[in-house]
A and B are shown apart, each in its own frame.
Chain A
Amino acid sequence: MAEHFKISYRQDMALFQNLWVRIWLGILILLLLMAPWFLSRYPLSILNEMGIAVIGALGLNLLTGYTGQISLGHGAFVAIGGYSSALLTAKGGIPFLISLPLSGLMAAGLGLIVGVPSLRLKGLYLALGTLAFGFIVEYVLFHWGLTQGDMGMAVKKAQVLGFTFKTEKAYFYLIVSLASLAALGAKNLARTKIGRSFVAIRDRDIAAEAMGIPLARYKIMAFGISSFYAGVAGCLLAHYQKWIVPGAFDLSLSIAYIAMIILGGLGTILGSILGAILITGIPHGILFLTDVLKAGYPALSGLVVDFKLGIFGLIIVLTLLLEPRGLYGIYSRIKIYWKTWPYRY
């Protein structure tokens, strides 16, 4: 039993808690490295989508799960990242390697601006403010000549130091490495002073301020970091799909991201990853099911679009009602059950 207890702060703060975590992570990395050699194009493309969603969900979880600031406009920041990189590479001739962080910074800059009202707004007012921001971004993208509105924009393939990413396989390595970097960054951030300040603000902002945490700085920082993640996700999405339209970044994308972090577990890194993988997988699952059932019920295929958002909604509602800690909560409950078996406490 003794090894289950943490006896020093160092142990509690460790990035990877014990040897088993490291072994499982090693196996996961090995599997991810080998995946492209065994999987065909379609499953690889799903994995790519999941990887991009992981980056975006990590960003939203840092803001909503850790800092407790509700955002209904995360999709807008993804859009800003995607469009900035598309414009920078196409019109500005800037290489992908530079436009990737630049698009993140662009989104972060706008995120900082949205973050400023958050100093006065709380809870539902912040939710409404970010919602309105999302609609306005969508409107601007539709009506600005530069972004070609409804027609959408073609985006160049990603290019790094002369190597052009063409196949799903190449994108897979790019996306997975960036997603791992993002997860590592978020995990590290969460255990620093900044991360602990975020959590303090979430739990009780007035108490946090009384303890000497400058609310303004950390709230705005949370918005900036979260938008940076969203921007990077948007940039990857744009270069991966090679075509972006404003309609892809509407309210339903923001709701999908919220569903990810709620299903996975608010305020956990593992939760964001699990949630992103599941929520991205669900539409493909529905597609697969309708394909199978199409022979019997031909009317079904038209309903897929309706189903998707409805299922996300159902997941949000059920998770919040039945297990507010999400998948991570279920996981930790099972873990504790086995660890303390046959005792129960």
Chain B
Amino acid sequence: MEKMIEIWLNGLCTGSIYALLALGFVLIYKSTGILNFAQGEMAMAGAFLCYTFAMLLDMPYVVAFLIALAIGALLGAFLDALFFRKMVGEPIFSTIMVTVGLASILSCVGGILWGHDVHAIRSPFTHRTASLGGIVLSQGALYTIGASLVLIVIFVLFFNRSLLGIAMKGTAEDPHTSGLLGIPVKRIHMLSWAIGSAVAVVAGIFLAEQSFVRLSMSHTGIKAMAAAILGGMESIGGAILGGILIGIVEGLAANYLSGMEIGDFQFGDVKDVAAFGIMILVLMVRPQGIFGKRKVERV
């Protein structure tokens, strides 16, 4: 029983990271209509930035965290100004492929700057555990869950209650009309890229907290995409639920399926493809996701 709860809690912890990353996707998608394939690479860059400031330059963890966050936001705004401002209204193939190309460029630059080695960030939570009635969890995991929850609440409030959030929703719905209504569309787009990238950086640093800092951590971005699809690309609540569900399914798959063999097929690290299996299933059965609305196309 206790093992079961531990699996679920650990799944919840990974899931909240996926949820954060998925939130970044949804944020950018909701306001610019672009699906950013480079989100995982942004997370990777954020984790490496935090590592650079905290470990190589010996800054306090919180300062390093904040600097990484600021650089991430700036990078997002910069990318928008450089590439995506010109891409608004282009066919979806071009926008997707520009982000795919960007992902390759970011991981190339990451490889040149930081190399392919595996690093660890020493944070205030490292090697500390908390036990709740016999269930042992690392403090880092608890903080991750807590911080994700707080961020998620903030974003839900932001989108539903604040003027800026509603303006973002409006630009996504119809950039032309919202421009006519006096919403500064370009600035809103830039802002959502900045916020989306900053969220990715936070997710990357939390992810590094749980495992390591390495180039290949950018693959998490694709799993988070599965989370966003599962929940529905246009729903913040959906992204969160999708992320947590995928985290838990991964945890369960890792514990119960990993050692299995069927014929001469060994399941091995089945954890890594569970998300993709779910993604294909969702796309086949209900492409709009759990909370998504079916799109009606205007001719």
Contact = CB atoms under 8 A, between A and B. Distances in A.
Contacts of B163: none
Given A143-B267, A255-B100, A317-B83, A132 B108 contact: no
B98 A316 contact: yes
Main secondary structure of the interface of B (DSSP, over half): helix
Given A144-B265, A306-B111, A316-B98, A255 B92 contact: no
Contacts of B265: 140, 143-145
A143 B266 contact: yes
Interface residues of A, number: 48
Contact of B96 (A121, A127, A143, A321): A127
Contacts of B266: 143, 145
A314 interface: yes
Nearest to A116: B284
B268 A143 contact: yes
Interface in A127-164: 127-129, 131-133, 135-136, 139-140, 142-146
Contact of A128 (B101, B229, B273, B277): B229
A26 interface: no
Nearest to A127: B96
Q: How large is the interface on B (under 10, 10 to 19, 20 to 34, 35 or more residues)?
A: 35 or more
A321 B107 contact: no
Given A306-B108, A321-B86, A132 B100 contact: no
A312 interface: yes
A234 B104 CA distance: 23
Contacts of B297: 206
Contacts of A128: 225-226, 229, 279, 283
Residue with the greatest number of chain B CB neighbours at <10 A, chosen from A143, A255, A312? A143
A337 interface: no
B152 interface: no
Residue with the greatest number of chain A CB neighbours at <10 A, chosen from B104, B105, B266? B104
Residue with the greatest number of chain A CB neighbours at <10 A, chosen from B97, B103, B268, B297? B97
A108 to B, nearest CB: 19
Contact of B108 (A121, A146, A309, A320): A309
Contact of B102 (A135, A146, A313): A313
B280 interface: yes
Contacts of A309: 104, 107-108
Interface string B121-164: 00000000000000000000000000000000000000000000
Given A124-B35, A206-B297, A313-B102, A129 B283 contact: yes
B200 to A, nearest CB: 18
Interface string A283-296: 00000000000000
Given A206-B297, A313-B105, 9 more contacts: A72-B100, A123-B92, A124-B96, A136-B277, A139-B273, A262-B97, A306-B108, A320-B98, A324-B94
